[in-house]
Structure 1
Amino acid sequence: MDKILIVDDSAIQAARLKSILEEDYEITIAQTAEDGLSFASSQDFSLILLDVVMPGMDGFMLLKRLQEEIITRSIPVILITSLSDIQNEQRGFTLGAVDYIAKPFHPVIVQARVNTHIKLYRYRKQVEHQSMTDQLTGIANRRRHDLYSVTKWKEAARLKIPFTICMFDIDHFKAYNDTFGHPAGDKVIIAVAKTLSKFMRRTTDFVARYGGEEFVAIIMGGDARINYEYMKQIRKGIEELQIPHAPSAGEWVTVSIGGVTVLPVDSSQYGTYLNIADTMLYDAKRYGRNQVVWCGDEMKQWRQTDDE
């Protein structure tokens, strides 16, 4: 069931809107703009009904804040208002509102406009999902990673929990393609993607194809040592697929992994630590491949030894 957020300082008006819509949708009510922003940032809403005239931060100000946040800017907003002049309508649409419902409102009109924008939202989300899915493997693509990483990095900073970034690369993949051909290489990429996805244990664990034979994973929670050991299991799991490699590249297809665990502070730092994870991956390949190299506690490098 789609979720709708009603932001209105009038308990009576909010209750009336809820009574019109609650048969078809899950309704949450916020009676201040601040609570509305908090709810919208932490839950998955398909539509926001926003009263324009509220004390303190009014509907226009809240709409502007919603549009500024990556997490909330894609949620469609219908403004509920008794302000009927052209200037206010223009202001609302300029700030990003998708529609207006004028007070006093009629239940049939509310239902019709809400239903229309919910359907449009579902369609847009379907198209977005397709555009953010790697067509070969069915997992997230790099575009999806770029959006997801920013959202989850901010969430980890807010919750003060560790954040892990991992980069994976299939070892000697060019040699594999040259020996067995690109269709066989595609099957290897699919097999590795499936294995990585299988190892992702929680709903917040995320893996994407970053490009070619490279993958990226994000894990929220857990300290550096725990996630380092976890990546060693993944490395072993891919080797144990026992996909025969090219004669010049080793017995089985393997991956090199580089990672870093950090406690996010600044919302703009994600790219810096992604580069650190990529550097660890480079070192893993430089040290001989088929291993995990980690940027651990106090930025010290941990390296998997041959007997691990």
Structure 2
Amino acid sequence: MAAMRIAVTGSAGLIGTALLRSLDEEGGHETVRLVRRPPRGAGEIRWDPGRGYVDAAGLAGCDVVVHLAGAGVGDRRWTQSYKREIRDSRVLGTAALAEAIASLDTPPRVLVSGSAIGWYGDTGERAVDEDAPPGEGFMADLVRDWEAAAAPAAAAGVRTVFARTGLVVASGGGAWGRLFPLFKLGLGGRLGNGRQFWSFIALHDHIAALRHIVDTESLSGPVNLTAPEPATNREVTAAMGRVLHRPAVLAVPAPVLRLALGEFAADVLGSQRVLPERLTGSGFSFAFPTVESAIRAAL
């Protein structure tokens, strides 16, 4: 990757932190973070996604913008107010950023905008790639509007890529970050009937894929960031048990999940068998293609 000036939103999150660490370790790049508080130096840009404000002048000279900000989908029970927060944090933030990018005399050459495989809804056992139409439900509706909010950047000639992310396998955060402690205590087990597909990606591969997207001019539009071998929840449970040397015989019945998680339980119990056709077709190679290798990498 040639030396670039790269702006990142969501820089304090799991993926943003790992991306910045990767860029810093390589050296030669200038990175700037979009922050909601007053900037503390030249490496920070002020923005307020809820109010639709971005310091566009701070983006001047950026070659790349990587947009990763948004309220955590699985962080809290899906009340109506939290669903609104999830939606606003993504749609309003993306719109503000895209409009700021479009206002520049010389906009960045690429916007990589975080997205989600929630676009596809529940696919059951059917495998889908980026050509599949949107599914149904809150997440599918959200992703449709979230991606549409980036239209001003694309209209300004910026190559715009939607990184449709699956479940990131990492010990430090995200859904898997909450699974590891349970399994280490011997409390892990399948969810519901265990037959639902989980489309995952190792954190290492996720960061490598983001960097591949930045460097690959032929990629635009949706790109699935999922490993090439989706696993069922039952297979995930078995792999966790093997890697952590803990029994994984417990099961959480679907009604209990619905009681604990509310509407979000539909996503936990739903099946998404999503394939990364555009990534692999553009020459990307996964270091951790199986769920067991991804779990071992996280540890």
Larger % of helix: which? 1
Structure 1 length normalisation: TM-score?
A: 0.25
Structure with the bigger RCO (C-alpha within 8 Å, sep 6+) is 2
Structure 2 length normalisation: TM-score?
A: 0.26
